[in-house]
Structure 1
């Protein structure tokens, strides 16, 4: 046994496989955000102080944020600030998944801040909007970063007000002391909420693996039956491919509605648009089924490891925001994994209440399914390997 070459090469093969599959964990080892898109609105109108100077605290905050963002020009910043004109446009951008969060300075910010040095202080409020449905983890981290920004503003305002009182030699009243503990209030608003029965916002990712594996098993079973069937001409092959497509459609409907019912009724996931979700999973399954079937039709069972590698490399990325991925995975792996379009489509259905429509995810999945269907049907022109005929020896003939 030890004389066989496979034994000698086994340590190398084991190391290669270990290294290859270890790469699937690289994106999740130390995820750090880069250029996380966050909207910022400066609606502050300013205020004219008793000495006739105009206080525009919102403008000051904006300038400080820009200066801090450009402080390390040689490194990509954690936050990519996007200035937006008003709160209505911000809400539209959040619904269209353009921002993970928003930082809003209200119109009366300077006016209320000016009262902090009076006998009747009124703390201004900054609004932080977190887009949970876009990515639960990214939105929460954005919230932590924005709370840090608000705390820095708090510290600066507190120091400025105290310097003003000290310079004027004024003693603070209990009400003024209380207002200076937290001079700037922070109001956090969760939009496109993930709810309490969504696996912490990962319900779309949780449903991906059953659909992908069911697509693989369905395609492999039908391909196995195909290999065991003899065809006399290409016309018979073509009709068999049509039957394969019909079976694929039936399987898609069964998986689409069956998985939706099971996830909602048995697993307890909160699926607000059940029929739309079932139809979308049906489209997704058929797309994956056609893609895997086309691969098997042209290269045979060698296509199975390819689908397995796609699963292993793609699955860890689906729950991550692209801004958290290493550059290699973001630019070369993530754009090419087809299952991300299923997750994107389910996010819209689960958290954005948009219903099933001709969006980007549906268009791409339909395109993948259509091209794969054509490639699969075209496989009937592929030359068939003739089985080696058994040679009958003269001795066998004599024995008969």
Structure 2
């Protein structure tokens, strides 16, 4: 009977519903994935061909115009693909390595010549080349591959229909070799570049490594915060010394986390392209996260921990998505402010783009986060402690000396 008189018993369903609603919001980005303006390179190297009674014909131009027209949005929203004209295949490969495009469609220089040969007794299949930038983002890469393959099929059907209509008008009978070619008139060559391989958790290894590193950085920062918080400081100099010791201890934790997580990932069978490079990057990442969390704790104390829990639940689903697949709100106001996205971007470069460790790119951003957090931690030394638990602290000593 006493339990039934407790108001919390009747409030508990509301609390459960509130928690479900709150964390249910984290599913929104994953449910509403819709590509907008995915950058895909388009190269037309076709030099055209001269056809009797028609003059010079460039089917490459016809194809590119058709692709751009068919992908245009008619409902006022952004189209799923943003075609980017590129001059040559060499420029495209550089752009793919620099993560400028999720894929590319290349029309070779002899496309028109081979397409016109379909009308002759010696047909030769025209080709188009498709590149999928697999390592840039597995989800976006799969979607890009599906769209480009569909475009290739549509192009094939269009050329088949066009050639058959022309042959019918000319009342030309087809030979066996022509019929064979016309059933599949275009050779579509698909190639994955910057491949994720077979031991990278289908390309999600950079995202998978985030959670253990993030949680361990919270744990390390909280433990050292409690250790430092139990000390009583006579003056600011003593607190500054304690803060610097705390940061030094965080450096040791960073070494343990960086080398430890890389070793565990390797032990679990994840392909580690370069043990030292990945370890160094994870060390910097952990140190940046540790200082960021410590900076918040130094001002908000344990009241700041829910902030990092919410960042984990709301931010983690976005890390596996391409920015072009998010809503404008999530892309501009949540994803762009997530510090952990630089960890994922840096790991993708190391895992899939064959780049060695450097202090540029994502690593430099993490170092700036670490520096800014360190300065905030140092400023916390000036904070006046006024709570009852601060008896004997430097704040109370200074207050007494002021009265005297």
Shorter-chain TM band: over 0.9
- Rounded to whole Å, the distance in 2 between the matches of 1:34 and 1:142 is 12
User: CA 1:256–1:53 in structure 2 vs 1: closer, same or farther (change >3 Å)?
Assistant: same
Specify the alignment match of 2:402 in structure 1.
Answer: none
Deviations 1:248-269 (A, max 9, x none): 00110111111111111x1111
Specify the alignment match of 1:327 in structure 2.
Answer: 328
Specify the alignment match of 1:275 in structure 2.
Answer: 276
Give the TM-score normalised by the residue count of structure 1.
Answer: 0.94
Specify the alignment match of 2:170 in structure 1.
Answer: 168
Q: Work out whether 1:49 is the aligned partner of 2:51.
A: yes
Specify the alignment match of 1:133 in structure 2.
Answer: 135
Q: Work out whether 1:37 is the aligned partner of 2:39.
A: yes
- Rounded to whole Å, the distance in 2 between the matches of 1:272 and 1:67 is 42
Specify the alignment match of 1:206 in structure 2.
Answer: 208
Q: Report the CA distance between 1:388 and its aligned residue.
A: 6.7
SS in 2 for 1:117: coil
Q: Report the CA distance between 1:303 and its aligned residue.
A: 1.1
Specify the alignment match of 1:369 in structure 2.
Answer: 370
SS in 2 for 1:384: coil
Q: Report the CA distance between 1:50 and its aligned residue.
A: 2.9
Q: Report the CA distance between 1:164 and its aligned residue.
A: 1.3
Q: Work out whether 1:190 is the aligned partner of 2:181.
A: no
Specify the alignment match of 2:221 in structure 1.
Answer: 219
User: CA 1:384–1:41 in structure 2 vs 1: closer, same or farther (change >3 Å)?
Assistant: same
Q: Report the CA distance between 1:8 and its aligned residue.
A: 5.4
Q: Report the CA distance between 1:102 and its aligned residue.
A: 0.2
Q: Report the CA distance between 1:15 and its aligned residue.
A: 2.6
Specify the alignment match of 1:394 in structure 2.
Answer: none
Q: Work out whether 1:353 is the aligned partner of 2:354.
A: yes
Deviations 1:174-203 (A, max 9, x none): 100010011011000110111100000011
Specify the alignment match of 2:386 in structure 1.
Answer: 385
- Rounded to whole Å, the distance in 2 between the matches of 1:359 and 1:283 is 12
Contact 2:40 2:103 in 1 (8 A): yes
- Rounded to whole Å, the distance in 1 between the matches of 2:91 and 2:388 is 67
Give the TM-score normalised by the residue count of structure 2.
Answer: 0.93
- Rounded to whole Å, the distance in 1 between the matches of 2:101 and 2:249 is 41
* Structure 1 residues without counterparts, runs of 5 or longer: 391-400
Q: Report the CA distance between 1:386 and its aligned residue.
A: 4.1
- Rounded to whole Å, the distance in 1 between the matches of 2:72 and 2:37 is 12
Structure 1 vs Structure 2 CA RMSD: 1.6
SS in 2 for 1:67: helix
User: CA 1:379–1:164 in structure 2 vs 1: closer, same or farther (change >3 Å)?
Assistant: same
SS in 1 for 2:388: coil
Specify the alignment match of 1:97 in structure 2.
Answer: 99
SS in 1 for 2:84: strand
- Rounded to whole Å, the distance in 2 between the matches of 1:5 and 1:244 is 43
Contact 2:45 2:108 in 1 (8 A): yes
Specify the alignment match of 2:302 in structure 1.
Answer: 301
Specify the alignment match of 1:21 in structure 2.
Answer: 23
Deviations 1:343-389 (A, max 9, x none): 00000001011111233211211111100011112111111134279
SS in 2 for 1:38: strand
Match for 2:126 among 124, 127, 130? 124
* Structure 2 residues without counterparts, runs of 5 or longer: 392-404
- Rounded to whole Å, the distance in 1 between the matches of 2:11 and 2:380 is 36
User: CA 1:388–1:90 in structure 2 vs 1: closer, same or farther (change >3 Å)?
Assistant: closer
User: CA 1:193–1:340 in structure 2 vs 1: closer, same or farther (change >3 Å)?
Assistant: same
**Count, aligned residues:** 389
> Structure 1 residue runs of 4+, over 4 Å off?
1-9
Q: Report the CA distance between 1:161 and its aligned residue.
A: 0.7
Deviations 1:214-256 (A, max 9, x none): 1000000001111221211111110000100110001101111
- Rounded to whole Å, the distance in 2 between the matches of 1:176 and 1:83 is 34
- Rounded to whole Å, the distance in 1 between the matches of 2:171 and 2:10 is 86
- Rounded to whole Å, the distance in 2 between the matches of 1:381 and 1:28 is 43
Q: Report the CA distance between 1:3 and its aligned residue.
A: 5.7
SS in 1 for 2:209: helix
Q: Report the CA distance between 1:154 and its aligned residue.
A: 0.8
Match for 1:256 among 231, 242, 258? 258
